[in-house]
């Protein structure tokens, strides 16, 4: 299987069957990291993502030292340092400016990364996508929604549909 991250791949794969060891549904940061980690261990991984391109706005804003270690082990340590910034504290204040809650963070946590780091989610997704493109055995199909799963004697079939072309589907088995 070749790596592909553009939505056009879905069109040519309509109504085809793809074999994979693992199918990941969703290409947000969690799906991206899981797909890369699995493929790094030699599994054939196919990801299906309903949106044809990445969402351009941040949602998640921080990660802890253990998530830092996990993301680094997906092969993006240098880039991750570049797009994140260690945090020093976390404060809640009320409307009068009185402190309600205050945690101080310093240094690295047990997993070796800062206890907390702020980051820009679209930049992280771009990093992980770039890494995913370089890992053998990992295929990303954008523009496909997972619609059903069937388990037939140990072979699981995931049926997908192109949101803009209902009724068209492809399946991955593993
Ligand atoms: C307004 C808003 C604010 C948020 N603020 C924060 C915050 O401050 N801190 C924080 O940690 N988190 C925040 N979140 C949550 C944030 O979205 C997640 O932390 C982060 O994006 C989760 O990553 P993920 O990979 O698990 O899921 P997502 O980023 O949601 O990715 C899941 C992907 O799966 C795809 N998908 C879903 N179903 C299917 C299907 N059937 N077929 C194909 N593809 C599918 C979706 O299109 C999506 O791309 C916020 C979310 C929103 C909406």
Residues in the chain: 174
What average pLDDT score do residues 127-133 get? 98
Instruction: Output the CA 97–ligand 1 centroid distance in Å.
Output: 31
% of the chain at pLDDT higher than 70: 84
**What does the pLDDT look like over 5-47, one tens digit per residue?**
444 444 445 456 788 999 999 999 999 999 999 999 999 999 9
Residue 153 has pLDDT above 90, yes or no: no
Mean pLDDT rounded to a whole number for the chain: 88
Domains delineated in the chain: 1-59+120-174 (3.50.50.60), 62-119 (no CATH)
Q: How many CB atoms lie within 10 A of CB 159?
A: 15
Total-model pTM:
0.87
What average pLDDT score do residues 124-144 get? 97
Instruction: Output the CA 26–ligand 1 centroid distance in Å.
Output: 9
Instruction: Output the CA 28–ligand 1 centroid distance in Å.
Output: 6
- How far, in Å, CA of 51 to CA of 148, rounded? 17
pLDDT at 18: 83
- The answer to whether the beta carbons of residues 68 and 85 sit under 8 Å apart is no
- The answer to whether the beta carbons of residues 118 and 58 sit under 8 Å apart is no
Could you tell me the CA-to-CA distances from 60 to 4, 30, 153 in Å, in that order? 25, 11, 39
């Amino acid at each position: 299987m070749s790596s592909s991250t553009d939505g056009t791949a879905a069109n040519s794969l309509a109504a085809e069957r793809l074999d994979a060891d693992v199918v990941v549904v969703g290409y947000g940061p969690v799906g991206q990291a899981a797909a890369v980690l699995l493929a790094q261990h030699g599994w054939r991984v196919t990801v299906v993502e309903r949106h044809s391109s990445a969402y351009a706005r941040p949602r998640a804003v921080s990660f802890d030292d253990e998530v830092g270690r996990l993301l680094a082990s997906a092969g993006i340590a240098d880039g991750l340092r570049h797009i994140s910034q260690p945090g020093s504290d976390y404060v809640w204040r009320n409307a009068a400016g009185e402190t309600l809650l205050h945690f101080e963070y310093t240094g690295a946590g047990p997993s070796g990364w800062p206890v907390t780091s702020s980051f820009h989610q679209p930049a992280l997704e771009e990093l992980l996508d770039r890494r995913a493109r370089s890992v053998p055995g990992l295929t990303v199909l954008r523009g496909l929604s997972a619609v059903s799963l069937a388990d037939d004697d140990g072979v699981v079939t995931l049926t997908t549909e192109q949101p803009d072309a209902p009724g068209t589907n492809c399946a991955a088995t593993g």
